[in-house]
């Protein structure tokens, strides 16, 4: 519904395409559909992210927040690059989060077992890894002309903050940006 509403705001420039970015098979199907249509992408904004309170597996058997926040951003971007669907002067923007400021890059911790799962820590680890991945892509694909950026939208009063970080929201509500202001940063 949100996607249709957004498309209604600019029907000439937004074409909704639905894919569950927690699932590898749907990400791969999305790229195949784009390739079949001959689509070229000028700007890719990897902005899907979840902060789950509980350890959750996808139907593919992957931890859902890792799959959504990092794995499938990687697969989508790599598949687009491999199929040459990103314009040579294109831009990839990875939307990170202030959650990354609380953790260093700890690759082993990305495979957090169910019994030790901590959603806030997992989210921070994913967002830290996303920033490091951005640097890696920048170095790896320098000759392609595609530019890679990571950004933080500012502390924003999103649905995720409202549901997963109620104490944080209560304490900082007076300085939180609204969703439109967070999106405007990108």
* Residue 14 confidence (pLDDT) above 80: no
- Which residues are catalytic, by number? 123
- On the question of pLDDT at 80 being above 80, the answer is yes
- d(CA 171, CA 59) in angstroms, rounded, equals 36
Q: Mean pLDDT for the chain?
A: 90
pLDDT tens per residue, range 29-70: 999 999 999 888 999 999 888 989 899 999 999 999 999 999
Confidence (pLDDT) at 41: 92
Instruction: Decide if 105 contacts 136 (C-beta within 8 A).
Output: no
Name beta bridge partners: 94.
46, 150
Q: Select the highest-mean-pLDDT range: 15-24, 74-83, 152-161, 175-184.
A: 74-83
Q: Confidence band (pLDDT; 50, 70, 90) for 104?
A: confident
pLDDT confidence tier of residue 156, bands split at 50, 70 and 90: confident
pLDDT band at 122 (very low <50, low <70, confident <90, very high): very high
Supply the pLDDT for residue 181.
84
Residue 7's Cα: distance from chain center in Å? 20
CA-atom Rg of the chain in angstroms: 17
pLDDT of 13 strictly over 80: no
pLDDT of 185 over the 80 cut: no
H runs (alpha helix) in 49-118? 64-66, 72-82
Q: How many CB atoms lie within 10 A of CB 103?
A: 18
């Amino acid at each position: 519904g949100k996607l249709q509403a957004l498309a209604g705001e600019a029907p000439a420039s937004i074409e909704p395409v639905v894919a569950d970015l927690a699932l590898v098979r749907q990400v791969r199907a999305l790229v195949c559909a784009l390739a079949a249509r001959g689509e070229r992408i000028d700007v890719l904004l990897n902005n899907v992210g979840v902060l789950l309170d509980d350890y959750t597996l996808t139907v593919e058997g992957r931890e859902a927040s890792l799959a959504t926040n990092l794995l499938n951003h990687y697969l989508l971007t790599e598949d687009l690059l491999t199929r040459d669907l990103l314009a040579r002067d294109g831009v990839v923007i990875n939307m990170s989060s202030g959650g990354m400021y609380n953790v260093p890059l700890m690759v082993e911790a990305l495979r957090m077992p169910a019994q030790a799962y901590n959603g806030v820590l997992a989210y921070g680890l994913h967002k830290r890894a996303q920033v490091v991945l951005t640097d890696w892509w920048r170095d790896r694909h320098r000759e392609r002309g595609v530019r890679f950026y990571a950004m933080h939208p500012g502390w924003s009063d999103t649905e995720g903050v409202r549901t997963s970080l109620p104490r944080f929201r209560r304490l900082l509500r007076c300085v939180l940006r609204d969703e439109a202001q967070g999106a405007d940063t990108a």
